[in-house]
C-alpha cells in the first residue's frame, strides 16, 4: 500500500531581476537550449575577493600583505583569501594561519565580513545582467554567463568581457579575471590562466595550444585524489588527459573518467543554468567545527541536534524529505570518516535525523581520539508528494503532528529570530 505525505508546506522564490534589454523574456524563465556549435560563454571570477573587499575599506592596508582568515577561537584558523602581495610570499588559500605566517611574518590577519562580500557579489551580478540574463553562479565570487544571444547588441565575447572587467573595476573598486570560450569548462580555465584583471580567450582554434600544456589539475573536476590516480596512469597535463583513450580513463575512474576526457577535448556541452532553472538539491547537509574537541556521545548528540534542525528546515523549504542519513566525522588529527544509513521511510523530522545520526556514530566511532568536527547530511531526497511504502513500526498520526510542530517552530523563528525557541538540550 502506498502513502502520499503532503503536509501543505509552501515556499516562494523571488523572480530574477532582469535588465531592460529586449531579448529578455520577462514573463517566464525560458529553457531554450543554445546551439552548442556557436556558443559564447564567459566565466567571471572576482580576484582575491574577500581580501580585495577588505582592502577597499582599510586604506591603511595599502602595500601590505593581507589575508582574510577564519576565527582561531572557533577553530577555523585557515586562510580564506589573500591579496596579491601575500600571494607573492607563497600564502595560499586553505593554508593554516601559522603556516601562512611562517612564509610571511608580517602578514596582516583580518576576520571575514560576509555581509560585505554578499553585497559586492550582488552588485557585480547587476553588472553582468546588463549583458545577459543567462547567468549561473559558481560560488559567491564566480559566475558563468552565456552571451551567445548578446553579440548582436554588444559585439564579441572578448569585447563584452573587457567591458565587464572595466565596469567592475570602475564601479566596485575590485577586479575580475574573465575567460571567454565555447563551453563552460574552458571559460573557467581561461579565467584562471591570467590573474588579476585580465581576459583570456580559449577558442576552438587555440585551446589545444593554450590549454593542453597546462597541468591536469588545472581543469575542472581534477582534485587531489583524481590527480593522484591520473599520475598513476602517466597523465600529467591536460593534453595527456585528452590523448588518453576514453576507455582507459573509464576503466580507471569510471564515469568521471569519461567526463574528464570530454572536458579535455573541448566536448563539454553543459548549459549555463539560470536561477529559475536550477534543479532541486540532491543532498542537504550541515557541518560544524567545534570550539573544543568533542569527548563523548552527549557532546556529539547536542551538535547533531543543532545541525539536524538546520537541515530539516532546508528540507521543508525545498519540499523534500531524506531517504538516507549520512554523517561526517573529523578527529583531532584531521582524519575524516563518512558513514550513512538508509531510513525505513523518508523523513524531515529533526529527532529522526539526530537519532539516526547518533546510531551511525556509535556504531562506527570508538573514541580512540576526540572529535574536532561533525556533519550530518540528508541524501536520496524525495519530493514531499511522492508515494512510498508504509511500514508497521511508525505512528503516522504522531509523525504528522511532529511535522506540524516543526513547521510552527519555523514560522515563530522566522518572525522573532532563531533564538525565539531553543531546544533544552542546546541550552
Q: Tell me the torsion sign for CA atoms 377, 383, 385, 390.
A: negative
Distances, alpha carbon 286 to alpha carbons 258, 280, 281, 373, 423, in Å: 31, 17, 14, 11, 18
> What is the percent of the chain where pLDDT is above 70?
87
pLDDT of 127 reads 97
Say which DSSP state 280 is in.
Answer: P
According to CATH, what is the number of the domain 284-426?
A: 3.30.1490.100
Q: Tell me the torsion sign for CA atoms 211, 215, 216, 218.
A: negative
Q: Which of 7-16, 59-68, 139-148, 274-283 has the lowest mean pLDDT?
A: 7-16
Domain ranges of the chain: 39-203, 212-276, 284-426
How many helices (H) and strands (E) the chain has is answered by: 15, 15
User: What is the pLDDT confidence band of residue 39, given thresholds at 50, 70 and 90?
Assistant: very high
According to CATH, what is the number of the domain 39-203?
A: 3.30.70.270
| Dihedral of the alpha carbons of 171, 94, 76, 300, in degrees to the nearest 10 | 130
Q: Which of 174-178, 379-383, 415-419 has the lowest mean pLDDT?
A: 415-419
What pTM value is reported for the model?
0.69
Neighbour-count burial for 240-277, b at 16+ CB within 10 Å, e otherwise:
bbbebeeeebbebbeeebebbbbbbbbebeebbbbeee
Within 13 Å and on the Cβ side, how many CA atoms surround 25? 10
The number of residues in the chain equals 427
Q: Which of 34-38, 180-184, 257-261, 283-287 has the lowest mean pLDDT?
A: 34-38
Alpha-carbon distance of 238 to 190, in angstroms, equals 13
pLDDT of 354 reads 93
Q: Which three cell numbers stand for residue 270?
A: 553543459
* Mean of pLDDT values over 16-32: 42
pLDDT tens-place string over residues 398-420: 777 778 888 787 788 777 777 77
pLDDT of 30 reads 47
pLDDT of 193 reads 96
Q: Give the catalytic positions in this structure.
A: 142
Identify the CATH class of 212-276. mainly alpha
Average pLDDT over the chain reads: 85
State the burial class of residue 238 (Cβ atoms within 10 Å of its Cβ: 0-12, 13-18, 19+).
Answer: buried
Say which DSSP state 287 is in.
Answer: E
Amino acid at each position: 500500500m502506498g502513502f502520499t505525505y503532503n503536509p501543505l508546506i509552501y515556499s516562494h522564490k523571488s523572480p530574477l531581476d532582469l535588465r531592460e534589454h529586449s531579448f529578455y523574456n520577462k514573463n517566464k524563465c525560458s529553457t531554450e537550449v543554445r546551439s552548442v556549435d556557436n556558443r559564447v560563454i564567459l566565466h567571471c571570477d572576482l580576484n582575491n575577493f574577500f581580501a580585495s573587499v577588505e582592502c577597499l575599506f582599510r586604506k591603511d592596508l595599502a602595500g601590505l600583505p593581507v589575508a582574510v582568515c577564519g576565527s582561531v577561537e572557533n577553530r577555523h584558523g585557515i586562510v580564506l583569501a589573500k591579496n596579491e602581495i601575500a600571494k607573492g610570499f607563497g600564502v595560499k588559500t586553505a593554508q593554516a594561519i601559522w603556516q601562512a605566517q611562517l612564509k610571511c611574518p608580517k602578514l596582516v590577519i583580518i576576520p571575514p565580513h560576509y555581509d560585505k562580500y554578499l553585497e559586492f557579489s550582488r552588485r557585480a551580478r547587476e553588472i553582468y545582467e546588463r549583458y545577459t540574463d543567462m547567468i549561473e553562479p559558481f560560488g559567491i565570487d564566480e559566475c558563468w554567463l552565456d552571451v551567445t544571444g548578446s553579440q548582436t547588441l554588444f559585439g564579441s565575447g572578448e569585447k563584452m568581457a573587457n567591458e565587464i572587467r572595466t565596469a567592475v573595476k570602475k564601479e566596485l573598486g575590485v577586479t575580475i579575471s574573465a575567460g571567454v570560450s565555447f563551453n563552460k569548462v574552458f571559460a573557467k580555465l581561461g579565467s584562471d590562466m591570467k590573474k588579476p584583471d585580465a581576459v583570456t580567450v580559449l577558442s576552438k582554434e587555440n585551446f589545444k595550444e593554450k590549454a593542453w600544456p597546462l597541468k591536469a589539475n588545472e581543469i575542472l573536476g581534477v582534485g587531489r585524489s583524481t590527480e593522484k590516480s591520473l599520475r598513476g596512469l602517466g597523465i600529467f597535463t591536460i593534453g595527456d588527459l585528452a590523448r588518453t583513450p576514453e576507455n582507459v580513463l573509464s576503466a580507471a575512474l569510471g564515469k568521471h573518467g569519461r567526463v574528464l576526457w570530454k572536458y579535455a577535448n573541448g566536448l563539454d556541452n553543459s548549459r549555463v543554468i539560470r536561477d529559475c532553472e536550477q534543479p532541486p538539491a540532491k543532498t542537504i547537509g550541515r557541518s560544524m567545527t567545534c570550539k573544543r574537541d568533542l569527548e563523548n556521545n552527549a557532546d556529539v548528540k547536542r551538535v547533531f541536534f543543532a545541525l539536524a534542525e538546520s537541515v530539516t528546515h532546508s528540507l521543508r523549504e525545498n519540499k523534500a524529505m531524506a531517504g538516507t542519513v549520512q554523517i561526517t566525522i573529523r578527529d583531532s588529527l584531521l582524519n575524516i570518516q563518512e558513514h550513512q544509513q538508509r531510513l525505513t521511510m523518508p523523513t524531515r523530522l529533526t529527532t529522526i535525523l539526530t537519532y539516526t545520526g547518533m546510531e551511525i556514530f556509535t556504531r562506527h566511532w570508538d573514541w580512540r581520539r576526540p572529535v574536532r568536527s561533525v556533519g550530518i547530511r540528508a541524501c536520496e531526497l524525495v519530493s514531499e508528494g511522492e508515494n512510498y511504502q508504509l511500514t508497521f513500526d511508525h505512528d503516522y498520526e504522531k509523525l504528522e503532528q511532529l511535522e506540524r510542530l516543526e513547521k510552527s517552530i519555523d514560522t515563530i523563528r522566522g518572525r522573532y529570530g532563531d533564538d525565539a525557541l531553543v531546544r533544552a538540550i542546546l541550552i
